[in-house]
Structure 1
Amino acid sequence: VASANANVTFDIDNASDKARTITPSVTITDSEGKVVATRTGKPVTASARQVTPCTMELTIDNPALWSPDTPALYNLTVSLADDGNVIDSVDEHFGVRTFEYSADKGLTLNGKPIVLNGGCAHHDNGVLGASSYDAAEARKVSLMKQAGFNAVRTSHNPPSPAFLDECDRQGLIVIDESFDGWRDSKTPYDYSRDIDQWWDKDIESMVLRDRNHPSIFCWSIGNEVIERKRIEVVTTAHKLASLCRKLDPTRPVTSALAAWDSDWEIYDPLAAEHDIVGYNYMIHKAESDHQRVPERVMWQTESYPRNAFANWCKVNDNPYIIGDFVWTAIDYLGESGIGRFYYKGESEGEHYHRNQWPWHGAYCGDIDLTGWRKPISHYREMLYNPDKKLYMAVREPNGYYGEIKETQWSAYPTWESWNWPGHEGKPIDVEIVSHYPRVRLYLDDKLIGERNVSRDTGFKAVFHIPYTPGKLRATGIDTNGNEVEEVTLATAGKPAAIRLTPDRTNLSADNQDLAYIVIEVVDKDGNVVPIADNMIEVSVTGNGPLIATGSADLKDASSYKSPKRKAWKGRAIAVAKSSHNKGTIKVKATSPGLKSHTVTLKSVK
């Protein structure tokens, strides 16, 4: 791109009792602080007690383009001068990028084809609950990026500004969603009570607040509205979508449509109010819909985690399906029990069938509450990113802890573990996912077998073998027959120590910064013991408090404020916060019979 035009619109609010002559100026700098465009406007007469709108246009030569791989940002400074003296200024970051989409060509970003490997994300921050610290929002985006996602749907409300700032900085494409339901209630105190009075004000607040974020691709006006079969729903959708387009004509509008019965085609008038049609768990209708409405562009706004391969095939094979958003990217506190697997004898059914206590959160995320990526996450990333070529995990033997029962949003319990005491000699499944044409599996360097891997096998190879402690090694074989990559899983010894790994060691002394400290139970050689469930106590001293501990066990009902936490699958997490004082923060974890560990964090101004 040779150049980009930046149309800068701002208001001069003269709160004084007399008219003033104001000279506006605009400066754009790149990520290194270099001025790439600047302009001083003509003097403007700002009437007393009035708001005066202004527009200025600048040109950026050879702009750096924003994308998930290269999230280039610019800074815009608008200054107001009175008689040569700057009396006010404001800064805003923005990016330069171009999205285009059509049913025949799919989605392009800056002229290059892209498909969206997306995840839905709730507003909460796991063990912190609904608290929205900037560092927690940054971590949420970072976890999604590390898991291979390139897009997020903010279900079902606009996210915090800090979250969107991080999507801009780290490169995550956003569907910015306004409401869950509309006029028919889903719960007694939901938005249905307020929509008639507030919908226009809330849409306006969302769009005007968020429209400068380059990460935002699309506005969403709703999710699974109950009244979808009544003709009035088309009028509501038209009003919401029209206001979005009026306030921001540069972005498309979507919402998430669903059907809980055999009816689907009757929603065509509702779908027609959208620029991109969202399908919740209905993408199997895509081909027939395309035949009926060939110009329709669609994406799956919610999908079951277990259907990763089938949904990738839909996106990969059909240009009119531009992405898939799994429910969900990260486990969250809400919809208690969704995504759970359980054992025979425990409470039956889905999360919505009955109270599933002690489940107190959602286990349908690709990433658990501690930030650990479940095997389904690695599989999903590999489908959308052929550069990721090899991963191995082990399917929990059915009956080892009990007869396994699954639910709609669950994935079969699969672990990065070769610790199955008491199962010696009994069958167990080792699952390898790969983009290599063949894979081999070794146990203690003895070849177990070799398998072909391709799309026909779902890019998976499953080895059914008797369990023997030792070291598993999976290798990827290229087209020349060479073993070019390997991954391993080894049987860990008995728990011997605790290992703490903070995500950062330097914090800002602003009473807001956070450090997430992963807690692992390890054997004498430093290997994580994936079956460890030791009780761990965390203490924090110095210039900052401990604000949370947790594990991925959503049946552990102990308080997230408690300093004591039982490890689950050998892992837990703690969160320390800075104070207003600079200095050190010492985090120590102890457990009876285990070697303790202490890490030191620095809180700096």
Structure 2
Amino acid sequence: MRLQNLFIFILFSTFAATSLSTRAQRNEQLLEEGWRFTKGDVTDAATPGFDDSRWESVTVPHDWAIYGPFSRENDLQNVAVTQNFETQASIKTGRTGGLPYVGVGWYRTTFDTKPDQEVTLVFDGAMSEARVYVNGQEACFWPCGYNSFYCNVTRLINPDGRNNTLAVRLENRPQSSRWYPGAGLYRNVHVITTNRIHIPVWGTQITTPHVADDYASVCLRTSVENSGQKELTLVTEILSPEGKTVATKENKGFINHGQPFTQNFVVERPALWSPESPSLYRAVTKVYVEDKLTDTYTTRFGIRSIEYVADKGFYLNGKLRKFQGVCNHHDLGPLGAAINVKALRHQLTLLKDMGCDAIRTAHNMPAPELVALCDEMGFMMMIEPFDEWDIAKCDNGYHRFFNEWAEHDMVNMLRHYRNHPCVVMWSIGNEVPTQCSPEGYKVAKFLQDICHREDPTRPVTCGMDQVDCVLDNGFAAMLDIPGFNYRAHRYTEAYERLPQNLVLGSETSSTVSSRGVYKFPAQRKADAKYDDHQSSSYDLEYCSWSNIPDMDFALADDYNWTLGQFVWTGFDYLGEPSPYDTDAWPNHSSMFGIIDLASIPKDRYYLYRSLWNRNEETLHILPHWNWEGHEGEKVPVFVYTNYSSAELFVNGKSYGKQTKNNQTVENRYRLMWHDVVYEPGEVKVIAYDRNGKAMAEKVIRTAGKPHRIELSTPHHTLNADGKDLAYVTLRIVDKDGNLCPTDGRLVNFNVKGAGRYRASANGDPTCLDLFHLPRMHAFNGMLTVILQASKEAGTMELKASAKGLKSGSIQIDVKSLNQQP
């Protein structure tokens, strides 16, 4: 019977043919459709018979606040941001995105289960202070809006298992965040049913004690609930990335004193996980009691080794490497906080092309879909749970719950993600005020000890910004890996004073820029502000606490003991519009991103790409060449390239060859001509290798009168699943196809066929156009339109029109899964 059931599971991944095996199969429902939602507190909303017919019908994941409207009055905060060295409070506008996220919201739906089954609800994230009710009774409370949590609701299920009412109350308090947190059931909700004896949520732990080219050892520890004193038989198969069985174990035993059931395996000639080759295995575990199958549980994992060696650095699978990472907030720009796998994959694809190989989840627990994608696409991860501990940053922040809930949140996070090979370290916090407390190290040790207890295989870091405090009070010395946010000029001091002899750039750069905006002269400047509330894309402007990217490149290149960096940030995000955060409305989104809020790369993208992407050519010129009214004036021209030198021509006239050198830190990584005299026409760059051989050529031209709308997308085929997205780039161009880089006219959208308009964005941090309405102003000639597939196969067509321009259109195929090649 066991072999028959195992055979059927592996070949068909479905219920076994016999009634016994059918009953044993666990089942998971995703509760997406059929929800009702209302904003505002409602008496008796948890009661099964409550009339919610007038509530809004929504699909979960759902973010109630992303639809706006934007307003200066939304969550005005009169605060002094101490981590930015502010000593006096001031009015912060747009700090949380200018969106109406504050308030109470209710969600209601119904679900069915089979009778006599264990029933567990799993929430991937609910923003925030979630109270969950089943059939009118409170099932659980979870205050942290970012963490996944679950509750066993078996005792609350109707006797026949049918028509169970699920109600969720959420509340976002004012001044509970310092960026846009989102609002609502913005991540997935699951119903899991099992037999009474079963493997619980996140009930396995896989480690690889020995990893080598010839073989790897794999240790699987499996928790089983409700087995009592019964003898268990666990049969586990290890499946290779190709789906072939590479190891099998059948073990009998008892669950003693609540300890997990342990099995050990050897995998010959393992395919090792790395960003370059993200190979993934599966462990399929079957639990038998008295020869009856009671549960089947699959654990996906990778085989890889990690080492952090004093004075030497970080080793993955025995090979030295530096983190080429970015920090990312959880919002998806115009989609808000509502999770979407295609949107995440689109972001990661852009980062992968840039050469990024690591993600820091700043400053909160991620969506499980992001971690799964990092496993699959090859990104190392630093997962981080908290922005504050027991001392407040925000009046209604997490400090209210820390003492009671921190361990619960840590345990959930660690058990949820410790089997993922992409995770190479844990962070326990970001710039927490507790770091300067005389006994702050005790809090840090408390959290680090939880990490070591739940996962002894990975080190622990913390993003520290108060260098004097943490070097003097023992806080930094106690951590496995000292992580410093900025303060690049103090890395050497930290290395010399701390016992770890390693330094991680846990948060770096904070360069600010607006895509396509250039300010003259091009020079280093901290906290630069202008009347148009934009920042320059010469990539030389930064916040008071930070520095230009070149300094972090140099630290990584010059010192073995630096571990690399996590740039603030990969993408612009809603909220924190530094340096325009103090009474500077309408700014309401960040300017830190290497990629803007519309998922369009800024110039800085190509600076990072020229160093980080070692497999492909990079040659990028900035600025654009439309400077009407500046004829005869000097316009600095920068070139970002992986080649060592280049020659610049304007209308055929050479401005000479520049070669990367050590005269200044900028000269190490950029080619710069500061004395170029503007005249309309053509700018050409020829790049040379170290031997002086011409390798690449790039040309930009002065654009003529705006003529038409041009649409393009990398997503030409979508799945007919009602979720899949296409990101369409819109460019306003002249008759020859040159981008009109100063055009900002309003564009209207119309979508027909097998899909719908979902959102649009232009990357302008001052723009108040609503994302969900089918119109958007261009920003410096560009914007992005996001389309969503229907559940019916067919063709979707987007038409974009604007006054004075020839319209543009694009068609996208929407296919059912069985139509896909």
User: What TM-score, normalized to structure 1?
Assistant: 0.88
The answer on 1:453 being equivalent to 2:660 is yes
Q: Is the Cα contact below 8 Å between 1:66 and 1:97 reproduced in 2?
A: yes
Name which of 518, 521, 525 aligns with 2:736. Answer: 525
Q: Report the counterpart of residue 35 of structure 1 in structure 2.
A: 245
Deviates more, 1:453-462 or 1:83-92: 83-92
Q: Distance in 2 between matches of 1:157 and 1:170?
A: 21
Name which of 325, 331, 335 aligns with 2:566. Answer: 325
Number of matched residues? 564
Deviates more, 1:558-567 or 1:21-30: 21-30
Q: Report the counterpart of residue 217 of structure 2 in structure 1.
A: 5
Q: Distance in 2 between matches of 1:14 and 1:494?
A: 74
Q: CA deviation at 1:11?
A: 2.2
Q: Distance in 2 between matches of 1:485 and 1:21?
A: 69
Q: Is the Cα contact below 8 Å between 1:518 and 1:573 reproduced in 2?
A: yes
| 1:584 alignment partner, SS class | strand
Q: Distance in 1 between matches of 2:691 and 2:428?
A: 52
Q: Distance in 1 between matches of 2:469 and 2:617?
A: 38
Structure 1 residues 140 and 117, CA, compared in 2 at 3 Å: closer, same or farther?
A: same
Structure 2 letter corresponding to 1:36:
V
Q: Distance in 1 between matches of 2:816 and 2:775?
A: 28
Structure 2 letter corresponding to 1:133:
N
Structure 1 residues 255 and 267, CA, compared in 2 at 3 Å: closer, same or farther?
A: farther
Q: CA deviation at 1:248?
A: 0.0
Structure 1 residues 12 and 455, CA, compared in 2 at 3 Å: closer, same or farther?
A: same
Q: CA deviation at 1:87?
A: 4.2
Q: Deviations over 1:58-110 (max 9, x none)?
A: 11111111111111111221123456664432222211111111232111111
Alignment of 1:177-326 (within 5 A): 177-259=384-466, 263-264=468-469, 266-293=471-498, 295-304=500-509, 305=511, 306=540, 307-326=548-567
Q: Is the Cα contact below 8 Å between 1:14 and 1:51 reproduced in 2?
A: no
Q: Distance in 1 between matches of 2:811 and 2:357?
A: 33
Q: Is the Cα contact below 8 Å between 2:471 and 2:497 reproduced in 1?
A: no
Structure 1 residues 293 and 82, CA, compared in 2 at 3 Å: closer, same or farther?
A: closer
Name which of 574, 582, 587 aligns with 2:798. Answer: 587
Structure 2 letter corresponding to 1:108:
Y
| 1:286 alignment partner, SS class | helix
Q: Is the Cα contact below 8 Å between 2:797 and 2:809 reproduced in 1?
A: no
Structure 1 residues 440 and 243, CA, compared in 2 at 3 Å: closer, same or farther?
A: same
| 1:231 alignment partner, SS class | coil
Structure 1 letter corresponding to 2:263:
M
RMSD over aligned CA atoms reads 2.3
Gaps spanning 5+ residues in structure 2: where? 1-212, 512-539, 541-547
Q: Report the counterpart of residue 787 of structure 2 in structure 1.
A: 576
Q: Report the counterpart of residue 748 of structure 2 in structure 1.
A: 537
| 1:189 alignment partner, SS class | coil
Q: Report the counterpart of residue 518 of structure 2 in structure 1.
A: none
Structure 2 letter corresponding to 1:460:
R
Q: Is the Cα contact below 8 Å between 1:502 and 1:516 reproduced in 2?
A: yes
| 1:296 alignment partner, SS class | coil
| 1:441 alignment partner, SS class | strand
Q: Deviations over 1:449-480 (max 9, x none)?
A: 22222344223222221112222111122344
Structure 1 residues 35 and 492, CA, compared in 2 at 3 Å: closer, same or farther?
A: farther
The answer on 1:357 being equivalent to 2:585 is yes
Alignment of 1:493-512 (within 5 A): 493-512=704-723
Q: Is the Cα contact below 8 Å between 1:30 and 1:73 reproduced in 2?
A: yes
Q: Is the Cα contact below 8 Å between 2:354 and 2:613 reproduced in 1?
A: no
Q: CA deviation at 1:386?
A: 5.3
Q: Is the Cα contact below 8 Å between 1:370 and 1:518 reproduced in 2?
A: no
| 2:223 alignment partner, SS class | strand
Structure 2 letter corresponding to 1:555:
T
Structure 1 letter corresponding to 2:217:
N
Q: CA deviation at 1:390?
A: 4.7
Q: Distance in 1 between matches of 2:661 and 2:642?
A: 7
Q: Deviations over 1:105-128 (max 9, x none)?
A: 111111111001211100100111
Q: Is the Cα contact below 8 Å between 1:4 and 1:59 reproduced in 2?
A: yes
Structure 2 letter corresponding to 1:26:
T
Alignment of 1:290-439 (within 5 A): 290-293=495-498, 295-304=500-509, 305=511, 306=540, 307-335=548-576, 337-338=577-578, 350-352=579-581, 354-385=582-613, 390-394=618-622, 415=623, 417-439=624-646
Q: Is the Cα contact below 8 Å between 1:282 and 1:300 reproduced in 2?
A: no
Q: CA deviation at 1:531?
A: 2.1
Q: CA deviation at 1:388?
A: 5.7
Structure 1 residues 540 and 158, CA, compared in 2 at 3 Å: closer, same or farther?
A: same
Q: Deviations over 1:464-518 (max 9, x none)?
A: 2111222211112234432121222122232222222233233233332222121
Q: Report the counterpart of residue 71 of structure 2 in structure 1.
A: none
Percent identity over the alignment?
Answer: 31
Structure 1 letter corresponding to 2:592:
C
Q: CA deviation at 1:310?
A: 1.0
| 2:225 alignment partner, SS class | strand
Q: Is the Cα contact below 8 Å between 2:718 and 2:812 reproduced in 1?
A: no
Q: Is the Cα contact below 8 Å between 1:275 and 1:297 reproduced in 2?
A: no
Q: Report the counterpart of residue 567 of structure 1 in structure 2.
A: 778
Q: Report the counterpart of residue 125 of structure 1 in structure 2.
A: 332
The answer on 1:145 being equivalent to 2:352 is yes
| 2:478 alignment partner, SS class | coil
Q: Is the Cα contact below 8 Å between 2:494 and 2:503 reproduced in 1?
A: no
Q: Distance in 2 between matches of 1:505 and 1:389?
A: 25
Q: Is the Cα contact below 8 Å between 1:309 and 1:383 reproduced in 2?
A: no
Q: Distance in 2 between matches of 1:19 and 1:263?
A: 56
Q: Deviations over 1:409-460 (max 9, x none)?
A: xxxxxx4x22222322221111123443431112234433222223442232
Structure 2 letter corresponding to 1:462:
M
Q: Distance in 2 between matches of 1:485 and 1:113?
A: 31
Structure 1 letter corresponding to 2:368:
P
Q: Is the Cα contact below 8 Å between 2:358 and 2:379 reproduced in 1?
A: yes
Structure 1 residues 296 and 187, CA, compared in 2 at 3 Å: closer, same or farther?
A: same
